[in-house]
Amino acid sequence: MGACGLAYEYTLSKIASDLLGNSIRQWALIIGFMMFFMGIGADVQKYIKNQNLFEKFLIAEAILGIIGSFSPLLLIYSFGLWNSHYILIQYIIISAIGLLIGFEIPLLIRVNEIYTKELKLNIGNILKMDYIGSLIGAILWVFYLPQWFHFSRISFIVGLLNIVSALGAFYFLKHIVVNKKTLLSILSIFLLFILSGLIYSEKWMIHGEQYLYRDKVIYSETTPYQHIILTSNNHSISCYINGCLQFNSLDEHIYHELLVHPVMSLAECKENILVLGGGDGLAVRELLKYPSIKQIDLCDIDPNMTSIALNNPHINELNQKSLNSAKLKIINNNSLIPTNKEEIFLPNEYSPSGKEYSSVAEINLIHMDASIFIEQIRNQYDVIIIDFPDPNTPELSKLYSKKFYTHLRYRLKPKGLFCQQSSSPFDSKEAFLCIGRTIQETGYAVVPIHDNIPSFGEWGFWIAGKQESYSNISLKEKLKNISLLSVETKYLTPELIKSSTVFGKSWLITKNTDINTIFNHKVFHYYIEGWKKIYE
């Protein structure tokens, strides 16, 4: 019971975070709201008569299993079909689950009075087991359930545990049950409902998610780190992470060419490259056009994302099998020490021109948090490409913090450069400028660039190098003086790079002077404020 209650809290908090964003707020509100109604439930149970008390307890447990199992599906469908009423529906479900969890402990204590007359032993034993169960539930939910089951099935696994517990209690204590056939029938019917949900949940989840997207959902997966959706129409493929568009196949080349080629054109040396984020392999596709590159280290926290990049045919067509290099090493441990078992070799059979890439770089895929990665490694790089999601959560904002850029300095060679995707300088202007201030405060010379990407609108990047080697003016002049791109591009030209350094009259002007740290999350707050104005 304790394990199931905690798992329901975590599951509903995760769903709300994926749908509404701002995970810290959602987790705090939902768990706090649920605990409030647990208190209400604990108080309301005093009105339940002692007659057939054990049967009432088992029915409450079964109802909790049904509501808890189907609640993620209900939330997905309500968000897509009745968006304006979603919050109301969400908190009705949370209230119901909280009430039922609140019933459990007091009812069980009352039932247990038959066996343990002394109150201190009765309460102590039951609460002890409930708290132990909560720890077990937390460990299972965090470390194991997401590894074994699709997220849509986790709630049904937990609900099944509720029903099995009720059936087990019925079996061992059936001698105190009055209406045995009726109770067994109710529990069996609920069990069939949950088993049906367990079987069909993934199909139902995809059907429910379809209401959230204009195009057909062709792939849906919730990983321990994020929720990944691929959609398709007759013309394009789109990728969404936690409901936010990551790229559209019609114009992703504009974004990735801006992310890679201006900074690569400035770099004096292009042998060792680090890509942070970018698990889709699209930035690596652009990098592999440079014959001088010897090694690319790609660090993405989610192995499921790089697996899609390696194996999904739709993404393979886009990234041109850029990760299927002749030398590919996948490192899935935090010690950063690969073993022979982690090395796989694949033929380099695809390239933008239909021929092999001009050179075959060694590609290392590292699956870990980028902020931890740059603290642990001792490598230095000529160019670093930073392709993180927008700072739309406090967790992501740490990747745009002064601490992060400080550690990044040690990973850059003296004349090394990096490019940071930085959201929209128009729609989230203050977040964009805060990123630039934070980078510059950490000892870098910086220059902003931007262009219009149809799927996103106006989009911006910061290019930076150490102040010991560059100045803001020298970086900008170098960009403006690029007269030739050494690689083939679909969109970018030297003229477009030059124009990307020119901003609207007030776009780079602000009264704010603060920077982003791991404690103040300024970038996150600016980002939310900026996009909130757009939607309002």
Closest CA to 230 of 251, 257, 249: 249
Helix (H/G/I), strand (E/B), else coil: 445: strand
DSSP designation for 174: G
The HSE-up count of residue 269 (CA atoms within 13 Å, CB side) is: 13
**In the numeric block, which tokens belong to residue 521?**
């999350």
297 belongs to the catalytic site: no
Helix (H/G/I), strand (E/B), else coil: 302: coil
Q: What are residue 445's DSSP bridge partners?
A: 465
- Total length of the chain: 536
The whole-angstrom separation of Cα 167 and Cα 157 is 15
Q: Which of 387, 390, 427, 451 is catalytic?
A: 387
Helix (H/G/I), strand (E/B), else coil: 214: coil
The whole-angstrom separation of Cα 294 and Cα 278 is 19
In sequence order, the 6+-apart residues with CB closer than 8 A to the CB of 118 are none
Question: Cα-atom radius of gyration of the chain, to the nearest Å?
Answer: 27
Closest CA to 446 of 435, 454, 455, 456: 435
Q: How many CB atoms lie within 10 A of CB 136?
A: 14
Can you point out the beta strands (E) in 145-286? 216-222, 227-232, 237-241, 244-248, 272-277
Helix (H/G/I), strand (E/B), else coil: 454: coil
Q: How many CB atoms lie within 10 A of CB 383?
A: 27
**In the numeric block, which tokens belong to residue 25?**
């707020």
The whole-angstrom separation of Cα 106 and Cα 331 is 49
Residue 172 backbone dihedrals phi, psi, to 5 degrees: -75, -25
Q: Which residues are catalytic?
A: 387
